[in-house]
Amino acid sequence: MEESSIKKFLTSIKCSGCGQHYESGNIDVLGHREDLWFLSVFCPSCRARYLIVAVVTREKVWEVITDLTEAELDKFRGVGTVTADEVVDMHSFLKSFDGDFSRLLDRKQV
Ligand SMILES: [Zn+2]
């Protein structure tokens, strides 16, 4: 899937802070590992920055998880060093993800 299609999809998502839709100009693709994409969005209306993790296949965005704050996002930037095994782990993790991102971050820091 093209980055532009992913950004377009993300503009259909509302900011979890204020409910405003994101704009494609405020969405940055940080990178992806296979079909797991990491994006940063900035909400101009409440001036918050969030990390979005999306599971994307060729045709479709399957799952989007938001809600990381900027500080948490900084911790997460090391994601560029993940191995294929970790991506597989992440995949199964996301499938059963319960919304507790602090647990995810603790896990990544080990
Ligand atoms: Zn907002």
Q: What is the pLDDT of residues 13-72, one digit of tens each?
A: 888 889 999 999 999 998 887 888 888 889 999 988 888 888 887 777 666 766 666 566
99 C-alpha to center of ligand 1: Å?
Answer: 19
36 C-alpha to center of ligand 1: Å?
Answer: 24
Tell me the whole-structure pTM to 2 decimals: 0.56
pLDDT at position 77 is 56
pLDDT at position 27 is 92
pLDDT at position 68 is 60
22 C-alpha to center of ligand 1: Å?
Answer: 8
Kindly state the helix (H) or strand (E) to which residue 36 belongs, with its residue range.
strand 36-43
pLDDT at position 40 is 87
82 C-alpha to center of ligand 1: Å?
Answer: 30
Distances in Å between the Cα of 74 and the Cα atoms of 25, 33, 71, 85, 92 are 21, 18, 5, 22, 23
